[in-house]
Amino acid sequence: MVVKGKQLGSGSFGTVYLATHSTSGEQVVLKEVNLRGLNAKDVKSSMAEVEVLKRLKHPNVIAYVDSYKETGQLCIVMEYASGGDLGSLIRKKAKEKARLPEPQVLKILAQLMSALAYCHSEMHLLHRDIKPENIFLTAGGDVKLGDFGISRIMTSTNALASTQCGTPLFMSPELAAGKPYDSGADRKKSALEAERRQLAEARAAEEEAMRRRREDDDARDATRAAERAAKKEALRKGH
């Protein structure tokens, strides 16, 4: 059991809270899924997430702690990544007009690929919703892949799936086109996100360069105006 704290977020299937484990005293994440009013398919999907989390054991995947049902709710207790999610970090850097250092980007990509390789090769599992908001970070900056709510277990390593799901902005080409897909879909989504991040940084750098050029132009115009005014004043005094 846990002691529920502040709300961290909410989605279509549940609300997430920061909580404290009553036995260990450690900070954990509590996801509450309201089972009331859900159809059989959605209840099955919620229970499937628990079964997936129980099986996952990798240093770059959010760890399962516990689960239980309470007053019509499914409660899932998971590891807490205190560094927030990658999406928030990217937005923070964009607001500061700063870039993520290249070593940090390489570390994130390497650890994310390690997590995906484990899911694909060892667990035969597709995540199907790779995006910055589902990539969490520890206080030390290590990656923790989370939110396996729409993942799919593959019956074999080369199996193809066909259910369309995921976040549209981050869909792989196969998912976007409604075609069958395999573990390559997760890797393509990761590559697409890395490319999107590079484009966003390039756009921010271009906007910053344009702003500086405008400031330089304004400064030159002000200097020229001051020089013209000084010349006019000198001519006036000369007469």
Q: Which residues define the annotated binding site for ATP?
A: 31
- Cα–Cα distances (Å) from 149 to 50, 101, 197, in that order, read 9, 31, 24
Q: Please list the residues that pair with 161 across neighbouring strands.
A: 181
Task: For tokens 């961290």, name the residue.
Answer: 8
Separation between Cα atoms, residue 78 and residue 56, nearest integer Å? 12
Confirm whether 142 is a catalytic residue. Answer: no
* Residue 81: other Cβ atoms inside 10 A: 20
Q: Which of 42, 66, 85, 129 is catalytic?
A: 129
Contact 19, 2 (CB under 8 A): yes
* Residue 213: other Cβ atoms inside 10 A: 10
Q: Which residues are catalytic?
A: 129
